[in-house]
Structure 1
Amino acid sequence: MAEKHVVVQGAECMCKFGTSPDKLKVLKNSKEFVNDKNATKKSIASTVDLGATFEKNMFGSCSKLNNKPCNAVVSEWSNYYQDIILKNGGKILLEDSKGACPIGGKDCISIVQHGQKAEPSDENKKNANENVQSQLNPMEIPDELSTTSQEEVIDA
C-alpha cells in the first residue's frame, strides 16, 4: 500500500459540481500539527471538521444549483485514517479522503492538494551531502567559503 499524506490547514479542495477550489480551514484542532517545525500553522484536519470549514466557503458556481453560487458545507468525511483518534475526537483526513455536501451528495468534495509543504531547516542543511547540494544549487556558498571575511574576498 502506498503512503498517503495527512491533510492539514490550507489543503486545497474541490467539489465535482463546482468551478473553483477552496482552501480547508481546520477549526476543530489547535493541539496537533504536522509538517510545521514551529507547530503553529499546519493543524491536522480530521473528521470533526464539518460545516462551513473553508476559507471562502464556496467552490464557485454549482452545477447542481443551475450554476448559482455554491455554499460549501461538509456534512461528513469518508476514506479517513481509522487507527488514530486525535484529542478532538476526530480521525485524520488523508489526501484521498472525500467530503459529502447536502447539495452534491456523498464524496463530491475531494482533496486536490493535502496542504503540506517542504520546509527545510538548519538540521536538513547539516545532514545534506555537500557534493549533491552543490550540483543541485550551484549558487549556494559552501561552508568553508562562507566564513571568509569580505576583505579577503575583495583582495582576491
Structure 2
Amino acid sequence: MSIKEKVVQGALCQCQFGTTPDTLKVLTQQRYYINDLNGSEKLAATHKDIGATFEKNTFGSCKKQNNKPCTAIVTEWSGYYEKEKYSPPDGYILVEDSKATCPIGGKDCIIILKTGQIGEPSQKNIKNSDNELQSHVNPVIDMKNYSQEAYKSIF
C-alpha cells in the first residue's frame, strides 16, 4: 500500500449523482482520534460507519431520481485499509480512496474529496523543523532566531 491519508470526522464526500458535497460524521465510536492536537475532534472513520452518517444527509439533487432531493444513506464501504482495525466497533480504517455505496446511486458512487485531516503545528513540530526549509516556506520568520516565547504568542 502506498501512503494514503486516513479519513476522519469532517471528511468531505460527494456522490457522483448529487450536486453538493456533504461532511462525514463518525457515529460508531468515540475513542480513536487521528490528526488532532488535543485528541477531541477528529474521530477515525471506519467501514462500520454506515447508514445516515453525514451532517446534512443529502448530496443535493439526485440525478438518479430526476433531480429530487437526495437522502444520503451508506450501505457499505469499499477500499478500506484491512491492516488497521479499531475495536470497538471492529471497523477497518477508511482511507482517501475508499468509496461508499448508496442503494439509489449504486456501488462506489460516493467518493472522498478531502479526508478531513488538517495540519496543526505544535511546539515540537516547530522545534524539530528544518530551519533552511522553513525559511523558504515562511520567509517572514527567521527560524534560527525564533524563540519559544514567540511561538507561544502566535498560538
Structure 1 and Structure 2 fold alike (TM over 0.5): yes
Gaps in structure 2 of 5+ consecutive residues: 149-155
Separation in structure 2 between the aligned mates of residue 20 and residue 145 of structure 1, nearest angstrom: 43
C-alpha offsets along residues 96-122 of structure 1, whole Å, 9 cap, x if unaligned? 111011111111111111111111111
Query: 1:105 corresponds to which letter in structure 2?
Result: G
How far 1:8 moved relative to its partner? Answer: 0.5
With over 3 angstroms needed to count, the CA separation of the structure-2 counterparts of 1:145 and 1:46, relative to structure 1, is closer
Match of 2:96 in 1: 95
Match of 1:83 in 2: 83
Separation in structure 2 between the aligned mates of residue 146 and residue 90 of structure 1, nearest angstrom: 43
Higher strand share: 2
Query: 1:140 corresponds to which letter in structure 2?
Result: I
Deviating more after overlay: 64-73 vs 85-94: 85-94
With over 3 angstroms needed to count, the CA separation of the structure-2 counterparts of 1:57 and 1:131, relative to structure 1, is same
2:63 matches 1:63: yes
Query: 2:62 corresponds to which letter in structure 1?
Result: C
Where 1:83 maps in the other structure, the secondary structure is strand
Q: Number of residues paired by the alignment?
A: 147
Identity level (%): 53
How far 1:145 moved relative to its partner? Answer: 6.8
Match of 2:152 in 1: none
2:62 matches 1:54: no
Match of 2:139 in 1: 138
C-alpha offsets along residues 51-95 of structure 1, whole Å, 9 cap, x if unaligned? 110011000100011001100000111111112221111111111
C-alpha offsets along residues 19-47 of structure 1, whole Å, 9 cap, x if unaligned? 11101011112111111121111111001
Match of 2:2 in 1: 2
Gaps in structure 1 of 5+ consecutive residues: 148-156
With over 3 angstroms needed to count, the CA separation of the structure-2 counterparts of 1:25 and 1:70, relative to structure 1, is same
Q: Is the 8 A contact 2:17 2:109 kept in 1?
A: yes
Match of 1:28 in 2: 28
- Runs of 4+ in structure 1 deviating by more than 4 angstroms, as ranges, are none
Which structure is larger by alpha-carbon Rg, 1 or 2? 1
Q: Alignment RMSD, CA only?
A: 1.7
